[in-house]
Chain A
Amino acid sequence: MSRRWINRITFLFMGLTGLACATVILLVALILGHIAYHGVHHLSWEFLTTAPRAGMTEGGIFPAIFGTVFLVLLMTIAVVPLGVCTAVYLQEYAPAGSKLVHAVRLAIQNLAGVPAIVFGLFGLGFFIEFAGRSVDRLFYGGQLHFGQPAILWAALTMALLTLPTVVVATEEALRVVPRGHREAAYALGATRWQMVRYVLLPQATGGILTGTILAVSRGAGEVAPILFTGAAYYLPELPRRLNHQFMELGYHVYVMATQSPDVDATKPILYATVFVLLTLTFLLNFSAVVLRARIRRRLAEGR
C-alpha cells in the first residue's frame, strides 16, 4: 500500500473514533442539559424540605431525600465491614491458590453481574420471607413485625448489590501496600492481625473510602433492589424504625413518571427530583475520583 493510502486510512479512523467520543459527550450533555433546563427552576428550599402533596402534583420531596439517606447509611453500615473483612481475608489470610478463595472471587464477580431486579427478588425471598418471618416467629410470637418490606431489608439487599464494589476496592488498596511493610511488621513480631490492623488498614483507608463512596452512589441510584423490599409509594410519616417502610428518590421518580394522576402538573416536580438525584450521585462519584487521585499521588510520593 502506498504511503498516501495509509495516511488516508489513519485519518479516517481518527475521524471516526473522534466522532464516537463526541457523540458520547454530546449525549451526556444533552441529557444533563435537558434535565437541568426543566428541573432547576422548580428547585427551592421548600421543595427540598417539604413532603409531596395533592397526589404528588404539589409540594416537595423531603421524605424521599430522608429515606434515601437513611437507606444508604444503613447499607453502608452493613456493606463496609462485610466487604472489608472479605477483602482482608482474601488478600491476607486465605492460603494463596486455595479453592475457597477461588470460589469466593468467582461468587463476587458473578454478584457484580447479577441484574439489580434479581437482587430485589432475592431480598424479598431471603430477607423478608425467610429472615423476617423467622425473627417474627422467634421474638414476636408470629406477629407481623419484620416479615414485611422494611428499610432494614432494603438496605441489606442494597448492601449485597454493592458488596463487590467494596471488596474489589479494598483488595486493590491492600494489594498496593508494599511487601516490605508486611515483612517489616512480621519481622518485629507482629501477629497477622496486628499487621493488618496497624500497617495495612491505615494505608488502605483511602481505597476503602473510595469504594464506599462508589457503593453509596450506586446504592442511592438503584431502584430495582428496593422495589419489593421496602420502598413505599407514599408515606405520611418518616421512617423511625428499622422495620418501617420508606420513600426513596429513585423510586419516587419512577412512581411520579408512571402513576401520576396529572402528568402535566407532576412534570416539573419530576424533573427537579431527577436533578436532585443526579446531583447527589455526581457529587459522590466526583469525590471518589478526587479521593482516588489524591491517594495515588500520596502513594507515588511515598516511594
Chain B
Amino acid sequence: MSQAASADPPAADVRVQTPAIEARSLSLFYGSFRALKDVDVAVPRREITALIGPSGCGKSTLLRVFNRMNDLVRGVRIEGSVLVDGRDIYRPDADLIALRKRVGMVFQRPNPFPISVFQNVAYGPAIHGMASNAELEEAVERNLRATGLWDDLKDRLRVPALSLPPEQQQRLCLSRLLAVEPDVLLMDEPCSTLDPIATARIEELLFELKKNYTIVIVTHNMQQAARVSSRAGFMLLGDLVEFGATEGLFTNPRDQRTQDYITGRFG
C-alpha cells in the first residue's frame, strides 16, 4: 500500500518544477516508417501548447504518444523516453490505466458513446470505482457545468448523446473526460468538425480550462494556434522544427521552414 502510494503521484513540489510532459530524443516507428524523429519537447503546466504543421507531419502521432494511445496500433516502436510528471511512461512497470486517467484525450470527431448524456459523463467515474448514485449525479453536474452544457442539458440528461448537435457532442466528450479528473488534456483538432461560431465558443472554453489543466492542442488552423496557445511547436516530416513561445514563433520564427509555413509558402 505505502509502496504503491509512493510510486504513484510524485510530491507536489516536484510537480511544480518539472514540465507536465517531456519527450527526450523521441522517435516513433510505424513498422519501418519513422514518423517522429528525435523529438525533444517540454510541455509546461497550466498552459495551452499548440502543435501545428502540414498534414502527415506527425502531430497526432506525437500527441498519441503522450497517453500511449499508440499502443493500440500494431507494429509501433518507440525510441527515447517520454516523461509525465517526471516519470517515464514507457518503463516496463508503468501503469497504463493511471497514465490515461491523468492524461486524457479529446478526438477530432466527437465520439460520445451511443448512450445517454448522463451515462456518458458517468462512464469514467463508474469504471474507476464510483458507485453511489448521489456521487455520480454530482460528478455529472459538475463536469457538465465545467464545459457550459449544464444549463442547456440539465432537463435532458436522459436523451441519447448522439442526438445532440456536434458542438454539444464535443463539449460532452470534454465533460466525459474531465469527469475522470485528469491533469492533462490532449486535443487532436477538436474543432475541425465544428463551424466558426462553435469553434470560437470552444476556444473560450479552453481559456477557462487552462486555469486548471495542462492542454496540448493539435490544430491545422494557424489563427487558432495563435489565438489560444502560449507555447507552440511547428512540425515537419516527423521533426519538431521549432518550439517556443507562440508569439515568437509566429512573429519571429527562428527557422526558415517555420517562416515558410506560417507565411503560407507550403502546406
Contact = CB atoms under 8 A, between A and B. Distances in A.
Interface stretch (A117-125, A180-188, A216-224): A180-188
A49 interface: no
A194 B125 CA distance: 12
A203 interface: yes
Interface string B157-176: 00010100000000001001
Given A95-B74, A178-B111, A180-B111, A187 B127 contact: no
A189 interface: yes
Interface in B105-120: 105, 107, 109, 111-115
Of residues A95, A180, A181, A191, which shows the largest number of chain B Cβ atoms within 10 Å of its Cβ?
A180
A193 to B, nearest CB: 10
B180 interface: yes
A187 B67 contact: yes
Contacts of A190: 127
Interface in B65-102: 67, 69, 72, 74, 97-101
Contacts of A202: 115
Nearest to B114: A302
A182 B107 CA distance: 12
Contacts of B124: 188-189
A145 to B, nearest CB: 45
A302 B112 CA distance: 10
B109 to A, nearest CB: 6
A189 B100 contact: yes
B227 interface: no
Given A183-B69, A183-B72, A188 B127 contact: yes
A15 to B, nearest CB: 47
Interface residues of A, number: 23
B69 A188 contact: no
Given A186-B100, A188-B180, A302-B162, A180 B67 contact: no
A198 B115 CA distance: 10
Contacts of A178: 111
B127 A194 contact: yes
A194 B128 CA distance: 10
Contacts of B123: 185, 188, 198
A187 B98 contact: no
Interface string A160-194: 00000000000000000010111111111111001
15 contacts: A181-B114, A183-B69, A183-B105, A184-B173, A187-B67, A187-B105, A188-B176, A189-B97, A189-B98, A189-B101, A189-B128, A189-B180, A190-B127, A301-B162, A302-B162
Interface of A: 95-97, 178, 180-191, 194, 198-199, 202-203, 301-302
